[in-house]
Amino acid sequence: MGIRGGHLLDLESLTAEEIISILDAARSFREVIDRDIKKVPTLRGITVVNLFYEPSTRTRISFELAEKRLSADSLSFSSVTSSVQKGESLKDTIQNIEAMRTDMVVLRHSSPGAANFLTRCCDSKVINAGDGAHEHPTQGLLDIFTMRERYGRVKDLRVLIVGDIKHSRVARSNIWGLKKLGAQVAICGPSTLLPYEIEKTGVEVFSNLDKALEGVDVVNILRIQRERQDAGYFPTLREYTLLYGIDATRLKRLNPGFTIMHPGPMNRGVEITVDVAESSDSVILEQVTNGVAVRMAVLYLLMAKEPIADKEGVLTP
Ligand code: CP
């Protein structure tokens, strides 16, 4: 099964079956990136433009690597070194790039809905690499992939997302994806950093971290997103760390075999202590590795015209 609509804009509009097909394909690509020769000819002849209007380390390099591993031609655009600085609009930018015969675009932008807007002003297949506080679907997918590989399932996993939920596109994509696959999702943070009516998505809401951590399998820790905050949401960082920082003492409340996750970038000593970030229960760098495989799967499925795997699960590009 491919991805309906020819774009990946969010996880809210995907079905559980579509999410599973991406996770299954990512498992095959994860095997590819562990080989000595980490490359397949799958997207030979396809040109992908990485259009980044916001800073990024992981997502940008991960997409570039995924494109190169699939033998696509990969171009990178940064708004700060482009004619955006001379006033060129997003629409004019993509239409000029597409006039050079490109096929796919990966967009990171500070405005919610920017990726959706792009689908209406170009013919390329569009992948949302994070649009404001709306969604970051490939981050959600790689987080869910990491949980599924570790536990062999997502259904009934107890997942807690801690931190600045209000400004987090990662939290939204995790919530949509995890709920569709049957996980039990809870969120925790200062009440000022919890979105209005978030409980309508079916998540359990906590403001007391120690209560929230009881019986949890996976903790996904978010940073404070100062670049998207327009007001003081808590008195001091020190107070935030005392109430919502994850340290080794707090981990005792979790279920045996628990997992620590963080989408990055981390603010060590604020939302997570150094020893927790670097502990054997942390899969933070594993998430980054899995991100390349998940993005390969998304790029492939968006271009695929046929089912991607035979009965034995072997990729047939
Ligand atoms: N997780 C994530 O999106 O990181 P970057 O901002 O570095 O891409």
Q: What is the pLDDT of residue 311?
A: 45
Kindly report the protein residue whose alpha carbon is nearest to atom 5 of ligand 1: 56
Task: Mention every residue, 6+ apart, whose C-beta is less than 8 A from residue 277.
Answer: 260, 262, 266, 268, 284
- Strands, E assignment, the chain: 47-52, 73-78, 104-109, 125-131, 158-162, 184-188, 204-206, 218-221, 259-261
- Site to probe by mutation for ligand 1, drawn from 54, 56, 106 as the one with most ligand atoms within 8 Å of Cβ, is 56
Q: Ligand 1: distance of its center to the CA of 202 in Å? A: 26
**Ligand 1 touching residue 263 (CB < 6 A):** yes
Low-confidence ranges of the chain (pLDDT < 50): 307-308, 310-311, 316-317
Task: Mention every residue, 6+ apart, whose C-beta is less than 8 A from residue 163.
Answer: 171, 189, 193, 221, 222, 223, 224, 244, 271
Residue with tokens 């949401």: 233
Which pTM value belongs to this model? 0.94
Give dist(CA 55, CA 43) in Å, integer: 26
Model pLDDT for residues 215-240, shown as the tens digit of each residue: 999 999 999 877 666 667 888 889 99
Q: What is the pLDDT of residue 310?
A: 46
Give dist(CA 301, CA 264) in Å, integer: 26
**Ligand 1 touching residue 28 (CB < 6 A):** no
Model pLDDT for residues 94-111, shown as the tens digit of each residue: 999 999 999 999 999 999
